[in-house]
Structure 1
Amino acid sequence: MQTQKSFEATTQGILYLVPTPIGNLEDMTFRAIRLLKEADRIAAEDTRNTQKLLNHFEIQTSQISFHEHNSKERTPFLVEKLLSGETIAQVSDAGMPSISDPGVDLVKAAIEAGITVVPLPGANAALPALIASGISPQPFYFHGFLPRKKKDLNAELETLNKRQETIIFYESPHRLKALLDQIEKVMGPERKIVLARELTKRYEEFIRGTISEVSEWAQNEQIRGEFCVILEGNANPVSENETAEWQNWTIKEHVEQVMDTEEMSSKQAIKEVSQRRSQPKRDIYAAYHEI
C-alpha cells in the first residue's frame, strides 16, 4: 500500500502529467502553462510538435523525446532525474498523457520509486464527445482504439456487444467505414451511435443516428479528420443460454415471446428482437407480419 500527498514538500522531483490542446490552443490552462515553464525538463511524445506549443506560449523549457519506441530506454533515465530532484512535465502530442498515448510506463516506474505523480485536468476528446452525444453519459466504458485485424476486431466487438454501458472508441479516418460496417454486422442496425470529428477545431462536427444511418452516411462521405465514436450500450445483453433458447424459434415466435414475457407492444418487441438477433428491423417486421 502507498499513500501520496501531492502537495507535501519533498526532496525528490515531481512528475507532472500535463494535458495539451487537441486542436484549439485556447484550451491550454493557466496552470499547465505555468508548470511547463517551471519544469526542469519536458518529456514529449514528439518534440517537434510540442515545440510549436512551447513557442506559442513562450515557454523556454528544454525537451526530451519520450514515445512508445523509446519508453523502455528513457524511463529509467527519467526516474533517475526525478530521484535527483528534477521536476519533469510529461506531455503527449494532444490531450491526456497515457490515454491512447505513451506515459503509463513512466507513471508506473515513478510510483514504484516513491516519486510524487501529479495529474492536471485538461483537454481530451472522449469526454467532450460523450457529453455532447445525446447518449447517456453514465455509466460509460472507454475502450480507445480497436484491433486492426478483422478477426481480432470481430472478436472484440462480440465481447463489447455484451456491455450495457455507453462505449467510447477512437478511430482514424481511413478505417472508419470498415469499423462501422463491422459494428452493424455484430451489433445490429438500430442502436444509437454518434461520430464526433475535429473536436475543438474549426470544422468540428457531430453525426448522430442509428448504426445503419451513420454507416450509410459514411459510405457516401469523404472521410476526414480523427473520430471519437460514442456507441449506445446494449440494454439487453443476451447470455449464451438465452441465445441457445431462441435459436430454435422462428422470428414470429421470438417476437411473440418477447411481447408476452416482457409486456411489450409488437413494435417494441420487433425492435428488441432486431437487436438481439443483430438483424435489420425491416426483416424482423416482415417475418412477424408474414409479408
Structure 2
Amino acid sequence: MSHQALSDFIHNHPRLLVLTGAGISTDSGIPDYRDSNGDWKRKQPVQHPEFMRCEHTRKRYWGRSLVGWPVMRDARPNAAHAALAQLERLGHIDLLVTQNVDGLHQRAGSERVIDLHGRSDRVICMSCDFSCSRDEVHHQSADLNPAFTHFSAETAPDGDADLEVDFSDFRIPDCPHCGGILKPDVVFFGDNVPKQRVVDALDALHQADGLLVIGSSLMVYSGFRFCRRAHEWNKPIAALTLGKTRADELLSLKINQPIRPVLSAALEQLSIK
C-alpha cells in the first residue's frame, strides 16, 4: 500500500529534508500551476523583468490581485500541512523547504521552514528598504480603484486571478517613502532565489538521510536542483505528488496519489510503530 511505503521511507530515513510545492495547498483552495503532465494549466505567471519595466504589467498584476489575493489570504492549512507539522514534532523532519508562498506550513505549526520563493503576505519596495503587509497594499488598491472591486474571476495560483479587463486606468500604489515600485516579497518567474536560502537548504540536505518531495512537479529548477544534488550525494528521494515530475528517473519511491489521505495514513502508521 502506498501509505505503508511512505511510512517505511520516513521511518528508515529518520532525518529528512522535505520539499513541498503547490500540490500540497490545493486542498486549501489555492490552485496549482501545472497539470499531471507538468504542462501549464493557464498562461504563465508574471515575469520579474516584465513587472519591473512595464507599468501596464504592474497595473494588470495589482488589478487581478484585488480578486485573487483574498482567496490566498483567507486559505487555511489542510490535513497535509498538519501532518508535516506533526512529523516535525515527532523528529522525522529536520527542515521543510517550500516552493509555496502561502505561509500555510507555518500556520499549521511547522517551525523549521525555508520559504524558498518568499512570502506573498509581505510587500517590499524595489528602491528602498520599505516593507508592509500585503493587506495594506490590497486595501489601498481597493480605495484607489473602487470600480475594480466589483469584478469576479476564477482564482489563479499565488493570489492571481483570471481577470481580463481594461487595466489602463488602474492606479497602482507606490512606495510611501520614496515613490518606488512595490512588489510582493516573492521570487517571480525570471528572478533568482536569494543565495542564502539555497545555501541553507543544501546544507540541511547534505546532513539529511533522504529527501521527500510532496506536491511538486519539480519543473522549476529552483526545486529540481535539490533532487539533482541528493542524487549526486547518493541520498534516496521519495515523491508524493500527482502526475509526472522532472526527477522521475532519480526517485527511489514515487507515489502518484492524492497527497492528503496518503500522508495522513502514513503519519498514523508511524505513530503505532
Structure 2 length normalisation: TM-score? 0.25
Larger Rg belongs to? 1
Higher relative contact order (Cα pairs below 8 Å, separated by 6+ residues)? 2
TM-score w.r.t. length of structure 1: 0.24
